[in-house]
Structure 1
Amino acid sequence: MTLYARFAAHVNAALDGLAADGRLPADLPRSGIAVEPPRDAAHGDLAVNAAMVLAKPAGMPPRALAELLVERLGALPEVAGAAIAGPGFINLTLTPETWIGELRNIAAAADDYGRSTAGAGVTVNVEYVSANPTGPMHMGHCRGAVVGDALANLLETIGHAVIREYVINDAGSQVDVLARSVHLRYREALGETVTIPEGLYPGDYLVPVGQALAAEYGERFVGADEAAWLPLFRRRAVDAMMTMIKADLALLGIHHDRFASEAELQAAGKPEAAEAWLRARDLVYDGVLEAPKGETPEDWEPVELPLFRSTRFGDDQDRPIKKSNGSWTYFGADLAYHFQKAQDADQLIDIWGADHAGTVKRITAAVNALTEGRTRFDVKLVQMVRLLRGGEPVKMSKRAGNFVTLADVVNEVGKDVVRFTMLTRKADAQMDFDFEKVVEASKDNPVFYVQYAHARIKSLQRKGAEAGIVASDAALHRLDEVERALVKRAATFPRTVEAAAAAREPHRIAFYLGDLAADFHAWFNVGNDDPSRRVILPDDPELSAARLFLSEQIGQIVRNGLGIMGVAARQDMH
């Protein structure tokens, strides 16, 4: 059990004891109790808000309740001091031995330090990327892909079973446009000179698809009616695009567990099943939409449509699930898709581009209705990425036609740089990706700064070995308060992981690693001015071994955090 979890258990045990003694009511609600680092390190090592949270339900002043808790918590052998601050906060100062013990816990847990069973027994479906199958991945897709994949890793770290899902939007009009674009490339492959008209996809990535179809079918579909070739070309084009998309994602180390086809979902009658389920509960009715706000178009006329009662669940208006021609609206198809996902998951998370913000309310309403409120549903909106080179916008890719491909970026700067950079800001914040800055060897570049910390620790191990010094926990008592401060930062990693998972915010891991790396570099750099503060001291192998042990555990946590982010830890910076 990690330090913060252990002290949360100590607080609960103290409350149990006070209740057993009749000094507190039994069964007080404890969900709001937190054990965390104090905002000011001068106030101690841990802050406990139990007295503030429980005072009202316990029917007593917070300070009076805090005095009861301090009496018990202060008696713990791990606690050097316990004090009440302000209206009833409890600050605990721990013994040096307690921090040394946590350093040994990090070494013992190794790759598992930060893992927990907090999410055990709960399956989470994370649907991310889900780009239209009409071309290669671009950097807008990249950010959502990394956020979704890191979030899936984060949820697995706290014990959730995770389904990584990609929905293939292969039932919309855009795949017909794709098929027509491929038909032009097919004719081109047979020797015809073609011009790509406005509205079709101009990218060269469709050339091989057309060539393959030409080689297989010859001139069979050159002059044929569209109805004769459109279904075939649509299917083959989507298959080719998905092969390309999967290859692009693999460059980032991303692999989904499940690919759900919207066309297959509709062919299986899933939207009809969802509609029937909702009608049986009076959540779909036949009605007429209100006229568009503002000036009503001349061609608008009231049409009766099946409407989902989304206003019952917080939406602004009820939403049509079918069009006037009887085909499913995008919302109707999406509603059925989420109904399907909820069959084998307890929680659903969608990673969407920020341009989909307007649909959040209606899909949230649909999931709430379809699962009768049992399924937690979160949407994480991801802002686009602006590509720069030395502060100047990057030109578009000729191959893609109108954007810079993910593959181009990964091939230039590497998977780890791309993944780490995508997590250096909150997902819904704007991001600039400057090709020069993300590979800059500077403390202003968080990718470099964290990787350099790990590489520096590996270098210390090599230098220690050359001096005949191996990391050891035999003399950890010789570590001073400055060095124990590093342990205190390291010990917050497990609670950072759980908090990041609860908030669905994987960028918190990048922020934490940045702080940990900064603390480590600051400690290491003191030795540049004061030789006695260096890690490797040939004349004091005992202290050197203790400092090496401390360094190695910081490196372990850097590796664990980078693992959640899907980034490999560097052994050196050459």
Structure 2
Amino acid sequence: MNLFADIRTLVLDSLTALQSEGVLPAGLDFTNVAVEPPRDALHGDMATNAAMVLAKPAKSKPRDIAEALAAKLLQDARITAADVAGPGFLNLTLDPASWTAIVPQAIKSGADFGRSDMGQGKKVNVEYVSANPTGPLHVGHTRGAVFGDALASLLDFAGYDVTREYYINDGGAQVDVLARSAYLRYLEANGQEVAFEDGTYPGDYLIPVGQALKEKYGDSLVGKPESEWLADLRAFGTEAMMDMIRADLKALNIEMDVFYSEKSLYGTGRIEAAIDSLKDKGLIYEGVLEPPKGKKPEDWEPREQTLFKSTEHGDDVDRPVKKSDGSWTYFAPDIAYHYDKISRGFDELIDIFGADHGGYVKRMKAAVSALSDGQVPVDIKLTQLVKLFKDGEPFKMSKRAGTFITLRDVVEQVGPDVTRFHMLTRKQDAPLDFDFDKVLEQSKENPVFYVQYANARICSVMRKANEAGVDTSDAILAAADMGANTHPAELALARKLAEWPRLLELAAKHNEPHRVSFYLYELAAEYHSLHNLGKAEPQLRFWQADNTDLSLSKIALTRAVSVVLSAGLGILGVTPMTEM
């Protein structure tokens, strides 16, 4: 049940009626007519911009349209007031029963309350994390992992067919560095002293890899030239790192549907096929690029390269896909990878990159636009950095990774639920501070505690009722008389519940799962406010020992809150707490 959508339908039907009566002309486009909460709650329950967006095409004054629309809307029993404000906004007040009717709907729907078919089964590929397989995931990857996983769950809830995908960057030179680093640990396992130089990875996480190599090869590779072991150790090291990464993701309760290897693109004709597709569209040519910004002319050596006309699809400059020596640029396999996604039939693509990939957005969007003839949209989300603090100071925990703090370090400190929720307390493109003291603090200032505590309080009320012999099953609560919930605080809570289906659709439309965490905090605040009022006003307490029917109506309201809190936390990948 989406009350905002229902009232929008009422507005559109009323506008159509005004057209049939000749008040409005035929042929008006109602697409931009919206019904949403007013900016100021004192102005009513909902507001519509209908008169404002239709005035110009209707060649009428906004207030004239608003007044005619108000008269129509007041004929519906749900609308108790329709007030024209300012130049023509229309503020609506609904009958309280319209709000409290949400409660049984939420209880009956359970975990599916707010689920929609907005996505219409469209196939969406969400690619996230995609870290180089050269070590464990670090705290920056953690944010992208949580964001991507929550977004995938949100889109699934909104009716999309979602594939979670990890792109393994195992085709580049960094995997050679991994192999050399693993070889050093192998030598170390064989009793030799080693030095990590030339950019090799010094992290302790490679010690077990070196020991495993010794178990497999003994000392047969000691002193052998790189040409004899590099390829084998590339494969061995990559698989070991991917096992570690999968374990890291599992610690956050993340499971991928697909792990796609970059290496699988090489030597298989897939890169060539993607570039040929662009060439067939006249988008590949041989040319010389202008020197990069910031380079002095004498520092620039112009070379003819194979270029992609990405400027024809919104990029700032054309991009090289093949170097002057005939080898592919790093961009070429990425083009081929996205060509493969398009070929797999995805209707939409979402890429989640780290903050350092900002310069990559336009070229990747240009490539997808060109490859799909503009038919497959790609949304690229950048996740900003995470700063760790403890006792008010920047916090460093472990040298296990060599130079960075790992995902596992964070999860072991505070747990997966706290980690996941807190990573979504800011929009993904805003910097995030992760303070280990504050995320474990039991106060209103800690969003994850505040939301979890609301659910635990509700469960406590229901246990108390059950101990008194009252049946609080969902069937009983859904049939309770909601007419007893008339206090402004109770109605405010019901109104907030009614926003849930609309909030989900907006969050899914904009690919913004942080909206869910924001909403859950606001819902928890409304619940805690009502709970605290009961301390001073006994008639507002959820458990009324001397009145079972009244208790059921009030407990039903809180049960609906628990339904939404649990569903929202589920989307975020957080387990609801039933007691604290």
**Which TM-score tier does this pair reach, normalised by the shorter chain?**
over 0.9
Match of 2:436 in 1: 435
3-state SS of 2:322 partner: coil
Match of 1:287 in 2: 287
1:342-389: CA deviation from partner (whole Å, max 9, x where unpaired)? 222111111111111011111111111111111111111111111111
Q: CA deviation at 1:72?
A: 2.2
Following the alignment from structure 1 to structure 2, what is the Cα–Cα distance between the partners of residues 159 and 382?
25
Structure-to-structure mapping, 1:373-384, within 5 angstroms: 373-384=374-385
Judge which range, 291-300 or 395-404, deviates more: 291-300
Q: Taking structure 2 as the reference length, what is the TM-score of the superposition?
A: 0.96
3-state SS of 2:101 partner: helix
Judge which range, 433-442 or 98-107, deviates more: 98-107
- In the alignment, which of 480, 483, 487 is matched to residue 477 of structure 1? 483
Contact 1:457–1:552 under 8 Å retained in 2: yes
3-state SS of 1:125 partner: strand
Structure-to-structure mapping, 1:402-421, within 5 angstroms: 402-421=403-422
Match of 2:264 in 1: 264
Match of 1:394 in 2: 395
The one-letter amino acid of 2:508's match is A
Judge which range, 86-95 or 493-502, deviates more: 86-95
Q: CA deviation at 1:466?
A: 2.4
The one-letter amino acid of 2:405's match is V
3-state SS of 1:31 partner: coil
Q: CA deviation at 1:17?
A: 2.9
**CA gap 1:530/1:22 in 2 versus in 1, 3 angstroms:** closer
3-state SS of 2:164 partner: strand
Match of 1:345 in 2: 346
3-state SS of 1:267 partner: coil
**CA gap 1:75/1:129 in 2 versus in 1, 3 angstroms:** same
3-state SS of 1:492 partner: helix
Q: CA deviation at 1:71?
A: 2.5
1:319-346: CA deviation from partner (whole Å, max 9, x where unpaired)? 1111222221122221221111122211
* Alignment size in residue pairs: 573
Structure-to-structure mapping, 1:55-454, within 5 angstroms: 55-294=55-294, 296=296, 300-343=300-343, 344-454=345-455
3-state SS of 2:507 partner: helix
Following the alignment from structure 1 to structure 2, what is the Cα–Cα distance between the partners of residues 572 and 11?
44
3-state SS of 1:448 partner: helix
**CA gap 1:298/1:176 in 2 versus in 1, 3 angstroms:** farther
Contact 1:479–1:547 under 8 Å retained in 2: yes
**Which consecutive residues of structure 1, in runs of 5 or more, have no partner in the other structure?**
none
1:541 aligns with 2:548: yes
Contact 2:102–2:497 under 8 Å retained in 1: no
The one-letter amino acid of 2:275's match is E
Match of 1:17 in 2: 17
- In the alignment, which of 562, 567, 573 is matched to residue 574 of structure 2? 567
1:504 aligns with 2:505: no
Following the alignment from structure 2 to structure 1, what is the Cα–Cα distance between the partners of residues 70 and 293?
62
Contact 1:139–1:406 under 8 Å retained in 2: yes
Following the alignment from structure 2 to structure 1, what is the Cα–Cα distance between the partners of residues 520 and 510?
18
Following the alignment from structure 1 to structure 2, what is the Cα–Cα distance between the partners of residues 338 and 25?
47
**CA gap 1:403/1:38 in 2 versus in 1, 3 angstroms:** same
Contact 2:167–2:261 under 8 Å retained in 1: yes
Judge which range, 430-439 or 290-299, deviates more: 290-299
Following the alignment from structure 1 to structure 2, what is the Cα–Cα distance between the partners of residues 493 and 411?
33
3-state SS of 1:520 partner: helix
Judge which range, 314-323 or 174-183, deviates more: 314-323
Match of 1:555 in 2: 562
Following the alignment from structure 1 to structure 2, what is the Cα–Cα distance between the partners of residues 293 and 85?
52
3-state SS of 1:449 partner: helix
1:63-98: CA deviation from partner (whole Å, max 9, x where unpaired)? 222233222221112222222222222222111221
- In the alignment, which of 526, 531, 534 is matched to residue 533 of structure 2? 526
The one-letter amino acid of 1:479's match is N
3-state SS of 1:91 partner: strand
Following the alignment from structure 1 to structure 2, what is the Cα–Cα distance between the partners of residues 106 and 112?
8
**CA gap 1:292/1:485 in 2 versus in 1, 3 angstroms:** closer
**CA gap 1:96/1:317 in 2 versus in 1, 3 angstroms:** same
**CA gap 1:476/1:299 in 2 versus in 1, 3 angstroms:** closer
3-state SS of 2:336 partner: helix
Q: CA deviation at 1:470?
A: 4.1
3-state SS of 2:494 partner: helix
Judge which range, 47-56 or 412-421, deviates more: 47-56
Match of 1:463 in 2: 464
3-state SS of 1:90 partner: strand
Following the alignment from structure 2 to structure 1, what is the Cα–Cα distance between the partners of residues 533 and 271?
65
1:406-447: CA deviation from partner (whole Å, max 9, x where unpaired)? 112112211100000000011111111111111111111001
The one-letter amino acid of 1:523's match is L
Following the alignment from structure 1 to structure 2, what is the Cα–Cα distance between the partners of residues 298 and 43?
65
Contact 1:134–1:238 under 8 Å retained in 2: yes
The one-letter amino acid of 1:478's match is A
3-state SS of 1:516 partner: helix
Contact 1:396–1:402 under 8 Å retained in 2: no
The one-letter amino acid of 1:204's match is D
3-state SS of 1:77 partner: coil
The one-letter amino acid of 2:442's match is A
The one-letter amino acid of 1:531's match is P
Judge which range, 126-135 or 67-76, deviates more: 67-76
**CA gap 1:508/1:436 in 2 versus in 1, 3 angstroms:** same
Q: CA deviation at 1:22?
A: 4.3
Alpha-carbon RMSD across the aligned residues, in angstroms, is: 1.6
3-state SS of 1:71 partner: helix
Following the alignment from structure 2 to structure 1, what is the Cα–Cα distance between the partners of residues 215 and 459?
54
Contact 2:169–2:263 under 8 Å retained in 1: yes
Contact 1:454–1:571 under 8 Å retained in 2: yes
3-state SS of 1:121 partner: coil
3-state SS of 2:81 partner: strand
The one-letter amino acid of 2:431's match is Q
Following the alignment from structure 1 to structure 2, what is the Cα–Cα distance between the partners of residues 295 and 466?
76
3-state SS of 1:42 partner: helix
Contact 1:470–1:548 under 8 Å retained in 2: no
The one-letter amino acid of 1:33's match is V
Contact 1:164–1:257 under 8 Å retained in 2: yes
Match of 1:490 in 2: 497
**Which consecutive residues of structure 2, in runs of 5 or more, have no partner in the other structure?**
none
Q: CA deviation at 1:222?
A: 1.8
Following the alignment from structure 1 to structure 2, what is the Cα–Cα distance between the partners of residues 295 and 260?
36
Contact 2:2–2:502 under 8 Å retained in 1: no
Q: CA deviation at 1:295?
A: 5.0
3-state SS of 1:342 partner: helix
Following the alignment from structure 2 to structure 1, what is the Cα–Cα distance between the partners of residues 148 and 192?
43
Q: CA deviation at 1:198?
A: 4.5
